[in-house]
Amino acid sequence: MKVIFRATPTYEGDKHYGSRLVFDRDGNLFVSTGERSDKQTRVYAQKTDNYLGKILKITKDGQPAPGNPFIGKTGYKPEIYSYGSRNPQGLALDEKGQLWETEMGPRGGDEINLIKAGKNYGWGDVTYGIEYNGQKINNGTTQKAGTEQPVYYWDPVVSPSGITFYTGNIEEWKNNLFIGCLSGEHINRIVIKDNKVVGEERLLLDQNERFRDVLNGMDGNLYAITDSGKLYKISKK
């Protein structure tokens, strides 16, 4: 075992680690990190001198990936690809190689984002959600110059976890985004056209399971795992 990268600063807490790993088509690795949830660490998501609340892009040796947007820029960690994320647990490439991210928002603010190099995704200045206690976040700011809007958001939330773009043998599902949902207790199917969401379907709601991750099998089926330890195989009828 060899540690190739550490997402600092460290923090004593048990929430919001992110974290997904996805290889880009160029062989470098995208890594998502959470902002560790508490008020005192939330501010790190908007700051660029640290690794919390980020999408990072590194080489297999843990170095900044060549072409990263902030290489050589003062006040920016060179591994940063984008910033302003809360708890990004979903990361996947679509058929064109574009990077998509889902993140758990506060109450009423779970998001789907199309991740682009050097962009700020808003957290904790800009959100469609509110604090769990009902208070507004940054006076209820939902849009702000210099920040990216989510492609889609849920209110009430579904708690999006692992995601994947479908490559299996059900023709009408091809290239749809599948999302394992925790508190939502279903698998979410999102239809995307021209980078916009044009449809949403909730699958396996009757199972009452917290779906942790979804993945394409090499056999053309979709597989999902749950927090209760079950493995689902989803096939064509």
Q: Which residues are catalytic?
A: 16
Kindly write out the interface string for residues 150-179 of this chain, putting x where it contacts Ca ion by CB under 5 A and - elsewhere: ------------------------------
If the CB atoms of residues 122 and 168 are measured against Ca ion, the closer one turns out to be 122
Interface residue with Ca ion among 18, 34, 106, 122 (CB under 5 A) is 122
What is d(CA 149, CA 143) in angstroms, rounded to the nearest whole number?
Answer: 7
Contact 86/63 with Cβ under 8 angstroms?
A: no
Interface residue with Ca ion among 121, 166, 173, 232 (CB under 5 A) is 121
Kindly write out the interface string for residues 80-119 of this chain, putting x where it contacts Ca ion by CB under 5 A and - elsewhere: ----------------------------------------
Dihedral of CA atoms 19, 23, 26, 28 in degrees, nearest 10, equals 50
Sequence letter at residue 77? K
If the CB atoms of residues 106 and 122 are measured against Ca ion, the closer one turns out to be 122
What is d(CA 131, CA 125) in angstroms, rounded to the nearest whole number?
Answer: 12
Dihedral of CA atoms 31, 37, 39, 42 in degrees, nearest 10, equals 20
DSSP lists the bridge partners of residue 102 as 90, 112
If the CB atoms of residues 104 and 234 are measured against Ca ion, the closer one turns out to be 104
Residues near Ca ion (CB under 5 A) are 121-122
